[in-house]
């Protein structure tokens, strides 16, 4: 009897594990992870000993490989005088936004929010990616994030809950991006 | 006559451009930091040994080295690094002044201010790779 219970439990755990693996390996999951990985990598560059910025161009290029030439992006305000989101049209303009992040922000740490079924499970469990097939072809994905970054000039650190909506075309490139960041708060040591 | 004036103006302008370009050249940052490390260690040794004259010389050298550090960061939008270098330079000047006045206790206090600024800057802008260090922007 005991053997039967143990065997059943092992089978059950294996099934859960397989299901988890399948969700983590889904193409939509990979798309979301890749976008966040490229965003977080934008501060992985250094100054040379003779004062040259090294590696920033490659990181920006790598991020821009994800976008289609006619991309339309709605991003949070990045100017002190700007109120509300900014609509950016075209890859070259999105590039300027990406470059601005790479050159003015450090310690980037955008993470996917996790969730379990229970009421308190917001920081553990699944990294949920909502996805849909677009009527005109391609895939749309959406996911919740927590964005954390520091300003390069004075190291002030900020944090904001947010959400990302991305539409990929049949070419696999991003045609629309919407990055929402709400309630941006400065993180201060206690 | 006019040709001579034009020639002199061109020569003066060339000298000015050359001098400006030369002034903007920095020593490699790793060399500056190695010199800071060695001078800082020497300063501590001299302060502990109550060698005020030698300590004042080290402090003066550190002042120059932190000015170089500040000049390295100046072209970038990295105000915290510039501030750390400035504060370290001011503290080095204070060490020098105290040492010249034979006030070793005050010099030791200012020494710890230098140490604090070095540590803060390294925390934000130095990344250890195991083989050496990288400069974080």
Give the model confidence (pLDDT) of B45-96 as tens digits: 999 999 999 999 999 999 999 999 999 999 987 899 999 999 999 999 999 9
Question: Could you give the dihedral angle defined by the CA atoms of residues B108, B110, B111 and B112, in that order, rounded to the nearest 10 degrees?
Answer: 100
pLDDT per residue as tens digits for the range A17-53: 545 555 567 899 999 999 999 999 999 999 999 999 9
**A66-78 confidence digits (pLDDT tens):** 999 999 999 998 7
User: Torsion angle, CA of A173/A174/A175/A181, rounded to 10 degrees?
Assistant: 180
- From A42, which residue of chain B is nearest by alpha-carbon distance? B137
Chain A residues with CB under 8 Å of B36 CB are none
B133 by Cβ neighbours in 10 Å (0-12 / 13-18 / 19+) ranks as middle
Sort B83 into a burial class: Cβ within 10 Å, 0-12 / 13-18 / 19+: middle
Q: What topology does CATH give the domain A27-187? A: Nuclear Transport Factor 2; Chain: A, (3.10.450)
CA distances from A58 to A41, A55, A131, B98 (A): 11, 5, 30, 49
Between A and B, how many residue pairs show a Cβ–Cβ distance under 8 A? 43
DSSP state at residue A77 = -
Best mutation target among A152, A157, A189 (most B Cβ atoms within 10 Å) is A152
Inter-chain residue contact A46 with B135, CB threshold 8 Å? yes
Residues of chain A with pLDDT under 50: 18
Three-class SS of residue A162?
strand
Closest residue, chain A, to B127 (C-alpha): A46
The distance of B29 to chain A (nearest Cα, Å) reads 5
Using an 8 Å Cβ cutoff, are B66 and B92 in contact?
yes
Put simply, the answer to whether B80 touches A153 (Cβ < 8 Å) is: yes
Rounded to an integer, what distance in angstroms lies between the CA atom of residue A111 and that of residue A159? 11
Q: Which of B128, B125, B122 is nearest to B136 (CA)?
A: B125
pTM: 0.79
User: Rounded to an integer, what is the distance from CA A37 to the centroid of its chain?
Assistant: 7
């Amino acid at each position: 009897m005991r053997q039967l219970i143990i065997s059943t439990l092992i089978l059950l755990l294996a099934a859960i594990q397989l299901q988890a693996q399948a969700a983590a390996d889904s193409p939509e999951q990979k798309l979301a992870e890749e976008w966040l990985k490229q965003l977080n990598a934008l501060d992985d560059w250094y100054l040379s000993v003779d004062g040259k910025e090294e590696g920033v161009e490659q990181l920006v290029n790598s991020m821009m490989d994800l976008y289609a030439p006619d991309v339309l992006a709605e991003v949070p305000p990045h100017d002190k005088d700007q109120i509300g989101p900014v609509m950016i049209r075209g890859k070259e303009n999105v590039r300027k936004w990406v470059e601005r992040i790479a050159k003015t922000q450090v310690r980037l740490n955008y993470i996917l929010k996790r969730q379990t079924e229970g009421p308190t499970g917001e920081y553990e469990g699944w990294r949920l990616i909502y996805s849909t097939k677009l009527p005109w072809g391609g895939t749309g994905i959406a996911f919740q994030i927590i964005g954390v970054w520091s300003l390069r000039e004075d190291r002030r650190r900020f944090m904001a809950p947010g959400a990302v909506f991305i539409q990929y075309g049949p070419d696999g490139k991003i045609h629309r991006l919407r990055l929402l960041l709400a309630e941006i708060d400065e993180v201060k040591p206690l | 006559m006019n040709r001579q004036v034009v020639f002199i103006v061109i020569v003066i302008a060339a000298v000015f451009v050359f001098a400006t370009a030369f002034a903007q050249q920095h020593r490699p940052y790793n060399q500056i930091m190695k010199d800071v490390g060695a001078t800082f260690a020497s300063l501590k040794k001299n302060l502990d040994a109550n060698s005020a004259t030698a300590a004042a010389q080290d402090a003066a050298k550190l002042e120059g080295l932190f000015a170089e550090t500040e000049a390295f960061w100046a072209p970038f939008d990295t105000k915290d690094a510039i501030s750390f270098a400035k504060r370290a330079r001011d503290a080095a000047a204070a060490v020098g002044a105290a040492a010249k006045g034979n006030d070793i206790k005050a010099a030791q206090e200012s020494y710890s201010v230098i140490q604090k600024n070095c540590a803060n800057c390294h925390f934000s802008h130095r990344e250890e790779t195991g083989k050496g260090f990288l400069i974080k922007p």
